[in-house]
Structure 1
Amino acid sequence: MTSRFVPYATTPGRLFGQLISDIVVVVWVLIWLFVGMAVHSAVAIIAQVGQQVEVGANGIADNLESAGDQTRDVPLVGNALRGPLNAAGEAALDIANAGHDLDTTASWLAWVLALAVASPPILAVAMPWVFLRVRFARRKWTAITLAATPAGQELLAMRALANRPLAKLVSVDDDPVGAWRSQDAAAIRGLAALELRAAGIARRI
């Protein structure tokens, strides 16, 4: 894999800055993921209560139904006892349904609140970071591709003349513009190297 495929600078200072920014973004994302998980866990407790109510109420309803069935054999009062027991079983089923609804709603709400809490701060940092990293990768790819051809080196040298500080330009040649116009190969390579370094690429051409 050549360096053009790696989305990092090869100049030490810029590479250090990129690594620090990566660490900061990762730590930031992890912090808010933990916050989101904490919110989810807190709301999920309500869902667990609903689940427990559902299970318990269903058990009571089953027991009441079984007791109602057994009262058939009781002489004289069997039917009288069966009616209240069945009614109580139906009430227990209503409670079980309410517990199920609470479980379902709280489980859904736990994820919604977790995403609502964690997503905005994560996206606020991650989106600019991704944009800057993609822009750097594209600039690096373009610069390395241009440096591979003589015409591309001339274009990089011209950009250096337009964008780099005068002190750096004269460090390449006392008359950088004249050297570029006269197609001085050494000066063009030096100017192109300045532009590459500005793009985060430490490369001799």
Structure 2
Amino acid sequence: MRFYAERPARASLQLLADLLAVGWVVACVLVARAAHGLILRLQEPARAIAGAGDSIRGAFDDAARTASEVPFVGDDLARALATGTGAGDSLATAGQEQVEAVAAVALGTGVAVVLLGALPVLAVWLPLRLRYARLARSAVTARAVDTDLLALRAIARRPVRRLLEVSPDPAAAWRRDDRGVVRDLAALELRSLGLRASRTPPD
């Protein structure tokens, strides 16, 4: 495929548009990464809560094991201390759930920034570039073979005002094989794509 025009002015505009589109997408990705990292910082308090819960659970577990060795009342003390162990478990679980929730929000925010920021640009820019590449490739192929098809494409695709600048009746001139008009119509189609006219005029 031919992604860039042969004429420097058109090629420069295409290159500038490509750089702007790619730059915008990169900027969206960078913003998404920054937002993701910023939101992930909210995990720190949750991690502290989860760590505190683990510490409480461990402390009450040790206390319960020690209390169970006390004669006569050891089992009762161990059961009483098990309540603290459960509280530590609940605190650790709540902290871990909050960590996971923050991670999910961070990921969702990053994806949303990329989709909302970059997707509209890609949805407009990419189809236009691919369409140009297909049209330019077919035009270059036709230029190497014959100008009749290019002239017909110009009649079908170019504005009437531009066609009338070539000939008062371009369709009739094409039908009667007026080579001068056919050559000018082909050149008009090629110029519209930023391509150079054929160097060897048709017979």
Q: TM-score range by the shorter chain?
A: 0.7 to 0.9
Q: State how 1:72-83 maps to structure 2 within 5 Å.
A: 72-75=68-71, 77-83=73-79
Paired with 1:161 and 1:84, the residues of 2 have a C-alpha distance of: 93
Q: SS at the partner of 1:200? A: coil
Q: What amino acid sits opposite 1:197 in the alignment?
A: R
Give the corresponding residue for 1:122: 118
**Superposed displacement of residue 189, structure 1:** 4.2
On the 8 A contact 1:161/1:169 being kept in 2, the answer is no
On the 8 A contact 2:4/2:133 being kept in 1, the answer is yes
Give the corresponding residue for 2:35: 39
Give the corresponding residue for 1:16: 12
Q: SS at the partner of 2:65? A: helix
On the 8 A contact 1:11/1:202 being kept in 2, the answer is yes
Q: What amino acid sits opposite 1:169 in the alignment?
A: V
**Superposed displacement of residue 160, structure 1:** 4.0
TM-aligned CA distance change 1:75 to 1:199, over 3 Å: same
Paired with 2:104 and 2:126, the residues of 1 have a C-alpha distance of: 30
What number of residue pairs does the alignment pair up? 195
Q: What amino acid sits opposite 1:196 in the alignment?
A: L
Q: Deviations over 1:10-47 (max 9, x none)?
A: 21111111111111112222222222222212221223
1:154 partnered with 2:154: no
Q: What amino acid sits opposite 1:149 in the alignment?
A: V
Give the corresponding residue for 2:98: 102
Structure 2 alignment gaps of length 5 or more: none
1:204 partnered with 2:198: yes
**Superposed displacement of residue 182, structure 1:** 6.0
Paired with 1:13 and 1:74, the residues of 2 have a C-alpha distance of: 92
On the 8 A contact 2:49/2:95 being kept in 1, the answer is yes
Paired with 1:75 and 1:161, the residues of 2 have a C-alpha distance of: 105
TM-score by length of 1: 0.78
After alignment, is 60-69 or 75-84 more displaced?
75-84
* Ranges of 4+ aligned residues in structure 1 off by more than 3 Å: 75-81, 158-170, 175-191
Q: What amino acid sits opposite 2:83 in the alignment?
A: A
Structure 1 alignment gaps of length 5 or more: none
After alignment, is 69-78 or 110-119 more displaced?
69-78
RMSD: 2.9
Percent same amino acid among aligned pairs? 31
Q: SS at the partner of 1:34? A: helix
Paired with 2:84 and 2:170, the residues of 1 have a C-alpha distance of: 97
1:90 partnered with 2:86: yes
TM-score by length of 2: 0.79
